[in-house]
Amino acid sequence: MSRREDLSTPRQRRRFGVHYDREAFGAFSELIARALGTARYLIFQSFVCLFWLAWNIGMPEEWRFDPNPFGVLTLALSLQAAYAAPLILLAQNRQEDRDRQQSEEDRAMAARTQAETEYLTRELAGVRMALADVVTMDDLREHLDRLTVAIEKVAEKLDH
């Protein structure tokens, strides 16, 4: 019996394309998104663009590294945007997944807290009901005072 006909082991799916660690790539995308979303990065990018334009417009032709100062810069910024947008979306999706998981955990914790609160409320009501039948010191004093008065009356009748 050949391996292909062996039914005792599950078939492995064949995967085509590039294989990568999803978690590592996701962490990388979050790192990039975190860096691209800062004022420091925007200032740096603006400085690079201004320097690029000033150098390639203001310098002599032999010193220029971009013969068309807007063409290569536009291409570079487009390439950066083409990679940045999907990385930012991936980072947002991962954050949304974490937020959803945290929300589910918070909901479960709230349900447990509510159940515990209801249990404690029932227990407290039971304790109150049980304490309603318990004799207090005031009750004992009142009964003792009545007994004392009754004994004094009986003693007076016996003395007469």
- The pLDDT value recorded for residue 118 is 96
Averaged confidence pLDDT in the chain? 87
The whole-angstrom distance between residue 13's C-alpha and the CA centroid of its chain comes to 34
pLDDT tens per residue across span 100-150 = 999 999 999 999 999 999 999 999 999 988 887 777 888 889 999 999 999
Bin 99: left if φ > 0, else alpha if -120 < ψ < 50, else beta.
Answer: alpha
- The pLDDT value recorded for residue 1 is 52
Task: Report if pTM > 0.95.
Answer: no
Do 12 and 64 form a contact (C-beta atoms < 8 A)? Answer: no
Distance CA 63, CA 55 (A): 8
For residue 98, pLDDT beyond 80: yes
Do 94 and 28 form a contact (C-beta atoms < 8 A)? Answer: no
Question: Which two structure tokens, joined as six digits, stand for 107?
Answer: 């909901």
Q: Give the sign of the dihedral formed by CA 90, CA 91, CA 97, CA 103.
A: negative
Greatest Cα pair distance, the chain, in angstroms, is 141
For residue 5, pLDDT beyond 70: no
Domain ranges of the chain: 21-159
pLDDT tens per residue across span 128-140 = 888 877 778 888 8
